[in-house]
């Protein structure tokens, strides 16, 4: 079968229930991974999603911040979660499809404003989160697995609107990129999006603060789809649904898609 999958930082699943439904109706991925749900699990508006055929969900949530959910029209089994850096944050959840494929949904900390852990604890938290990911994947050696989410890092020069102007800006600093590369290599993860779309500028996030986000186009590719090589070899159809950034009362992130032969 072919699995179609999308990942989207929704920035409040309750406020944007209608946009999630619009995406499910118009694009119809088999699986949709959401980050920044900003909701306890029992307050996620699942009824409308189920009515559209998405009757399966695994999620972790907390009041006000963070929160990750995997919506699916295919049966899912809860495959657990990891409490990165021991803070009790709802930043990871995993699900298993009936064929054994594992999907990890991750929301890496944004990291605050200053790219220096000696003066900014949030930046230290982000680096520690990435180090724990590296060590976990080194031990785990995942196979038949997909990892998606808002990784809050744009690793390549063509993942940002200006490599030079963002070198000291959190999300594109060399130390963050090195930590992300280490975590990716430790798990043997393939960047499916860039394997599919190797050339050219590609973004999935545009700040709310720009007065005309599309014309200015000062974007960053913060949202990623990775897979282990056994699944990456059958991956395709990668794209960013840029239109969604222009929907009414949008998230500041656009959904990223890929498909997999399972």
Partner DNA sequence: ATGGTTGACGATCAA
Residues of each annotated binding site for Mg(2+): 9, 36, 150, 152, 252-253
Q: Of 30, 81, 107, 223, which is the active-site residue? A: 107
Shortest CB 176 distance to DNA, Å: 14
**In which region does residue 28 sit, left (phi positive, over 0), alpha (psi from -120 to 50) or beta (all else)?**
left
> With respect to DNA, which residue has the nearer C-beta, 37 or 190?
37
SS3 27: helix
Whether residue 6 contacts residue 255, with contact meaning beta carbons closer than 8 Å, is answered with: yes
Rounded Cα distance between 180 and 128, Å, is: 11
Residues placed in the known binding site: 9, 36, 150, 152, 252-253
Q: Which is nearer to DNA, 206 or 260 (CB)?
A: 206
Say whether 230 is catalytic: no
Nearest to 160 by CA among 137, 177, 175: 177
User: Would you call 107 a catalytic residue per the annotation?
Assistant: yes
- For the purposes of burial, counting CB atoms within 10 Å of the CB of 242, is it exposed (0-12), middle (13-18) or buried (19 or more)? middle
Instruction: State the nearest-atom distance from the C-beta of 194 to DNA, in Å.
Output: 22
Q: Residue written as tokens 């059958």? A: 234
Shorter beta-carbon distance to DNA: residue 14 or 163: 14
Q: Closest Cα to residue 94, out of 134, 142, 128, 135? A: 142
Interface residues toward DNA, by CB under 7 A = 11-12, 14-15, 36, 38, 63-66, 109-110, 112, 122, 152, 208-209, 249
Looking at beta carbons only, is 38 or 104 nearer to DNA? 38
Q: Distance between CA 169 and CA 107 in Å, rounded?
A: 19
- Is 253 an annotated catalytic residue? yes
Please state, in angstroms and as integers, the Cα–Cα distance from residue 244 to each residue in 90, 108, 169, 229, 256, following that order.
Answer: 25, 22, 25, 30, 10
Q: State the minimum distance, in angstroms, from the CB of residue 124 to DNA.
A: 12
Catalytic residue among 30, 89, 150, 159: 150
- Minimum CB separation of residue 252 from DNA in Å reads 7
Give me the active site residues, please: 107, 150, 253
């Amino acid at each position: 079968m072919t699995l179609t999958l999308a990942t989207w930082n929704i920035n409040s699943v309750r406020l944007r229930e209608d946009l999630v439904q619009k995406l499910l109706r118009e694009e119809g991925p088999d699986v949709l991974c959401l980050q920044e749900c900003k909701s306890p699990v029992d307050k996620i508006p699942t009824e409308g999603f189920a009515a559209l055929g998405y009757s399966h969900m695994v999620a972790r949530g907390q009041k006000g911040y963070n929160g990750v959910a995997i919506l699916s029209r295919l049966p899912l089994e809860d495959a657990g979660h990891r409490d990165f850096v021991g803070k009790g944050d709802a930043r990871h959840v995993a699900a298993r499809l009936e064929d054994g494929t594992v999907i990890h949904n991750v929301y890496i900390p944004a990291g605050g404003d200053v790219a220096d852990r000696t003066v900014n604890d949030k930046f230290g938290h982000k680096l520690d989160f990435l180090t724990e990911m590296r060590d976990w994947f080194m031990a785990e050696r995942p196979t038949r697995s997909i990892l998606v989410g808002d990784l809050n890092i744009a690793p390549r020069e063509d993942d940002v609107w200006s490599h030079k102007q963002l070198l000291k800006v959190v999300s594109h600093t060399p130390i963050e990129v090195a930590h992300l590369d280490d975590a990716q290599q430790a798990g043997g993860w393939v960047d499916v999006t860039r394997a599919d779309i190797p050339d050219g500028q590609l973004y999935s996030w545009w700040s709310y603060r720009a007065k005309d986000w599309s014309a200015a186009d000062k974007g960053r590719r913060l949202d990623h789809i990775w897979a282990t090589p056994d699944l990456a070899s059958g991956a395709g159809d990668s794209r960013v649904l840029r239109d969604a950034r222009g929907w009414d009362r949008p998230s500041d992130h656009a959904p990223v898609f890929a498909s997999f032969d399972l």
